[in-house]
Amino acid sequence: MFAVRVQPPWNGNVAGEPKQLHRPRPIGGKCQGGVIRKTLNDDTAELLWGIRTPSTLLSDPSLFRHPAHAWQTSEGTVPVKLPVALAIVIGVVGGVLTWLYVGPLAALGLFVPATFMGAALYFAAGGDLPALKKSVPATVWGVVMGTVTLIVVGTVSGAAMTGVVVGAGTLVLILGALVPLLEFVPGAVVAFAMTVGWGLLSSASGTDFAFKTGPFTVMLISFVIGGLYGWVGSILVGKLIGATTRTPAAAPAKAVA
The DSSP annotation for 44-108 comes to EEEESSS---SS-EE--GGGGT-TT---EETT------HHHHHHHHHHHHHHHHHHHHHTTTGGG
Query: Nearest CA to 78 among 10, 166, 13?
Result: 10
3-state secondary structure of 249: coil
Reported as a pLDDT band with limits 50, 70 and 90, residue 238 is confident
DSSP 177: G
Q: What's the whole-number mean pLDDT along residues 7-35?
A: 40
Q: What's the whole-number mean pLDDT along residues 230-241?
A: 90
Q: What's the whole-number mean pLDDT along residues 98-120?
A: 95
- Taking the C-alpha atoms of residue 40 and residue 27, their distance in angstroms, rounded to an integer, is 11
Q: What's the pLDDT at 81?
A: 79
Reported as a pLDDT band with limits 50, 70 and 90, residue 137 is very high
**Taking all residues of the chain, what is their mean pLDDT, rounded to a whole number?**
75
Q: Is the per-residue pLDDT at 257 higher than 60?
A: no
Percent of the chain with pLDDT over 70: 63
Q: What's the pLDDT at 107?
A: 92
CB atoms under 10 Å from CB of 243, counted, come to 11
- Taking the C-alpha atoms of residue 35 and residue 45, their distance in angstroms, rounded to an integer, is 9
Q: How far is CA 96 from the centre of its chain?
A: 19
Q: Which residue has the higher pLDDT, 73 or 206?
A: 206
The DSSP annotation for 99-165 comes to HHHHTTTGGGT--HHHHHHHHHHHHHTTSSHHHHHHHHHHHHHHHHHHHHHHHHHTT--SHHHHHHH
3-state secondary structure of 22: coil
- Taking the C-alpha atoms of residue 215 and residue 164, their distance in angstroms, rounded to an integer, is 20
CA atoms within 13 A on the CB side of 130: 8
Q: What's the pLDDT at 68?
A: 32
Q: What's the pLDDT at 80?
A: 64
Q: Is the per-residue pLDDT at 155 higher than 60?
A: yes
In tens, the pLDDT along 52-84 reads 333 333 343 433 333 333 333 344 444 567 888
Q: Is the per-residue pLDDT at 201 higher than 90?
A: yes
- Taking the C-alpha atoms of residue 197 and residue 106, their distance in angstroms, rounded to an integer, is 21
Q: What's the whole-number mean pLDDT along residues 122-126?
A: 94
